[in-house]
Structures are given as C-alpha cells and as structure tokens.
Amino acid sequence: MRTQVVVIGAGPAGLLLSYLLRSEGLDVVLLEARSREYVRKRMRAGVCEQPTVELLREIGLGTRLDAEGLRHEGFSLRFDGSDHRVALTELTGKAIMVYGQQEIVKDLIDAHEAKGWPIEFEVSGVSLSGLDTDRPRVDYRDVTGVSQVVDADVVAGCDGFHGISRPAVPAGGLRAFDRQYPFAWLGVLAQTPPSSEELIYAHHERGFALHSMRSPELTRAYLQVAPDEKLADWSDDRIWSELSLRLKTDADFSLHEGPLLDKSITPMRSHVVEPMRYGRLFLAGDAAHIVPPTGAKGMNLAVADIRVLSRALVELLQHNSSELAESYSDTCLKRVWRAEHFSWYMTSMLHVDPDADVFQHRLQLSQLRYTASSRAAATSLAENYVGLPFA
Ligand code: FAS
Ligand code: PHB
C-alpha cells in the first residue's frame, strides 16, 4: 500500500491531524490499536482552552461543543477554609469550555465517518522502519490479523506516551526530560449534579482535591493519592468522605454524593522529548510530551501541535516546501515548555508534597495567598489557563 501520511493513534492528536490533512486532500492512513467503542468511551481531559474551542469551530466541529459544552468564566482556588475566585474572563477577556475529551474524540470520529474517511481500529504489531529515508515504511496487522505494509512520505506519531513511535527513534536521536511526582490522581465520574457551578481547585493539608464536571448531571472529581495507591483500597464511601473533608470550607458548601460511574488512578509526570521529530517521523501530543493534569493542558497541547504539524505537512507534501516542517519542533516546543512550566507551577502550588518541609509548605501558602490577592499574579495564572494565543 502507498500513502502520503500514516498517522499512528486515533486520540485527539491523531484524529485531528487525519481530519485536517484529509480536508486538504492529502492521502492518509489512520491506525488505532484499540476498538472504536473503547476510544469513544475513554474518559480523560475535561477543559478546552479558548484557542482549542476556536480551532474546532473554525473547522466545523463546534456545533455539539457549543450546544453541550459548559462555558466557564472563572474557577476557585480553595484554601485557608475559603474560596478565592480567579476571574478568568474579567482578567483576560477569554473563557474555557468544559467539554470532555471523549466528546471531541466522538465528534472527530463521526466527522471521519460522515466523509467516508476510514479509521483502522484494532490494529496490532505496528512497526516503523526507514524513518531516516524519504520513504518510511509501516508494517502492521489489520483487525482481521492480515499483515499489511504501507510505504509513506511521512509518519505522524500520535500514539500517546505508551505508543511505539517515540521508541522507534534510534538511541541518540532524541533527548528526554522527565520529572515524576510523589503523588497520583484518583479520578471519579459521579451520577450527581455538580456541587458548584465552577471548578474548585482545593489545597488541603490532607492533599489536593479538584471538583469539576461533565454536564449538569455529572460530577468529575479528583483526589491526590500516593503514587502506588490501589483503586481497590478506595470504596465509594471512602472517596466521598475524603472529597468532603478536602473540599470543606467555612462557608456553606455541601458536596452532592451519588453513584460512581468510573474510577481511575493517573500517575503524575512531566516529560518532554526534543526534538519532536526524527527524519520523516513527526511526534505530536502525548507521544512527545506529558504534563501533570493540574493545569488542564494535556489535550490542548496536542491540539496546538497538530495545528502546526498539519500546516507543515500540507506545505511539504502539496507545495514541496519544507520550511514549516523544518521548524515544526522548535515552534511546538516553545508552547510545550510554557505549558510544562504552568502545569508544574499549578501542581506545586496545590499538592501536598510528602517530602516537603515546613518551609516549603509556607512558600506554597504564600504563593496561593499572593495569587488570590494580586491582580497581576491572578492575571498571569489566568492567561496561561485560558490558553495563550497560538504561534
Ligand atoms: P492519546 O493517548 O489520547 O491517544 C493515543 C492513541 O494512540 C490512543 O487511542 C492509543 O490507543 C493509540 N495507540 C497507542 N499505541 C498504538 C499503536 N502501537 N498503534 C496504534 N495506536 C496506538 N489532560 C488534561 O488536560 N486533563 C485531564 O484531566 C487529563 N486526564 C488524563 C487521564 C489519563 C488516564 C491520561 C492517560 C491522560 C490524561 N490527560 C489529561 C492527558 C490527555 O488528555 C492527553 O493529553 C491526551 O489524551 C493527548 O492526546 P493524544 O496525544 O492524542 O494521545
Ligand atoms: C476535568 O474536568 O477532567 C479536569 C479539569 C481541570 C483539570 C484537570 C481535569 O485541571
């Protein structure tokens, strides 16, 4: 088989890249290891930056997002027993949209199917070769188990942190930067109306807690837990009790409990590879970088990468101009490192570090109190949170 671009992975990055390239008339093969149903149901990110929302609207994928998404103009930092609102829209003129990542994935899959653009689900044995030539090759087995070979002009590694693309780069081809945090997030989806109209990021001596939502009927919440925490040790009652303790304020706040529909534990790490390219392999999204989810940047960074990569590949493959492809990695890494710092900053300010001393704890509280009392500090946080303008 011969194509222009093989995209590995049908998460937000791979689906968006395939959609943008095919919209420009390029030939694409999109390979996904998991089933269509699994991909459509996988719950992850919840917050869309304004640039992400604007891009999805521009390409005709904003209808359901605007109908079902929840526009938010602020969120609360909860510490010292009270709420301190970060007035995002008043400070920046922008807003976020709470619209689950799995909804964006569904919209992108539906858009592919409406246009007859195939997605090969349930592939296996994907392997890459010839990445340092102008004719890279992708071997895989399709859903029926039949071996396939694709000769391409370019391979896009959109297969997430645990994919095969980044490891396909020979030793010395990439430099990795990594930081693992001494905690994880236990996340739940609950069939109960949110207990607050806006997100609450709570700093508490027992650990961080986040109150979010997916709809007027569904609450999404997270608890900081130990990195080796076992889900089996967390009954529904224990989860609600801990959330209630950590979200407690001096004001009247009552947590609406309800049946838990989903529970998961996500490790926390920061990771970046440089460059985000090796020959004809371009890495995007979690395949190239990971951020702790405290800053709600993961999925939004993937979208930003793809906006750059799609333009670069159209220029390269339709107009034989390699300038944007040559600058792809440098262009993306500027935004990546800004998001890495912001995510580290939000994580460090809000989580209890089990190895921290009293001095570090006092610094953390001082940062929170300064952010809550200084318009300049709050504006800096807000402009990063709503999403800095695309390059
Ligand atoms: P993804 O990991 O989403 O997609 C990669 C795709 O490649 C997957 O569908 C996978 O099945 C496929 N794949 C892997 N190997 C393959 C192979 N060999 N062949 C073919 N396909 C292959 N971000 C936030 O902003 N907020 C959050 O709350 C948040 N929570 C998260 C919770 C979890 C458990 C995880 C893992 C991540 C979370 N993130 C969050 C980050 C997340 O949203 C990512 O940033 C986002 O999914 C990145 O999208 P992709 O780069 O497309 O990678
Ligand atoms: C979510 O709703 O899943 C969510 C919101 C904000 C974050 C992380 C996750 O920072």
Backbone angles phi, psi at 258, to 5 degrees: 180, 180
Beta bridge partners of residue 96, listed in sequence order? 72
What is the rounded average pLDDT of the residues 370-389?
98
CA of 84 to the centre of ligand 1 (A): 32
Residue of the CA atom closest to atom 19 of ligand 1: 33
CA torsion sign for 366, 371, 375, 381 is positive
End-to-end CA distance of the chain: 35
Token readout for 31 is: 């390979």
Q: What is the CA radius of gyration of the chain?
A: 21
- Which CATH architecture describes the domain 181-268? 2-Layer Sandwich (3.30)
Catalytic: 106? no
What is the rounded average pLDDT of the residues 162-171?
98
CA atoms within 13 A on the CB side of 251: 9
Q: Where in the chain is the domain with CATH 3.50.50.60?
A: 5-46+100-174+275-346
Q: Where in the chain is the domain with CATH 3.30.9.10?
A: 181-268
Interhelix angle 50-58/298-318, nearest 10 degrees? 40
Distance CA 46, CA 97 (A): 8
Q: Are 227 and 182 in contact (CB under 8 A)?
A: yes
Residue in the block written with tokens 């209890």: 352
What confidence score (pLDDT) does residue 252 get?
85
Query: Domain 5-46+100-174+275-346: which topology?
Result: FAD/NAD(P)-binding domain (3.50.50)
As a whole number, the mean pLDDT across the chain is 97
Catalytic: 38? no
Distance CA 283, CA 371 (A): 35
Distance CA 341, CA 299 (A): 16
In tens, the pLDDT along 199-208 reads: 999 999 999 9
Token readout for 286 is: 């979690």
Checking if the pLDDT of 251 tops 90, the result is: no
- Looking from the CA of residue 44, the nearest atom of ligand 2 is 3
What confidence score (pLDDT) does residue 90 get?
98
Q: What is the DSSP letter of 34?
A: S
Question: For the whole model, what pTM was predicted?
Answer: 0.97
Ligand 2 within 6 A of 291 CB?
A: no
Catalytic residue among 19, 51, 72, 278: 72
Strand order across the beta sheet in which 5-8 lies: 28-31, 5-8, 154-157, 281-283, 277-278
Question: Which residue from 196, 212, 215, 349 has its CB within 8 A of the most atoms of ligand 2, so it is best to mutate?
Answer: 212
DSSP secondary structure string for all residues of 286-337: GGTEE--GGGS-HHHHHHHHHHHHHHHHHHHHHS---HHHHHHHHHHHHHHH
Checking if the pLDDT of 218 tops 90, the result is: yes
Checking if the pLDDT of 133 tops 90, the result is: yes
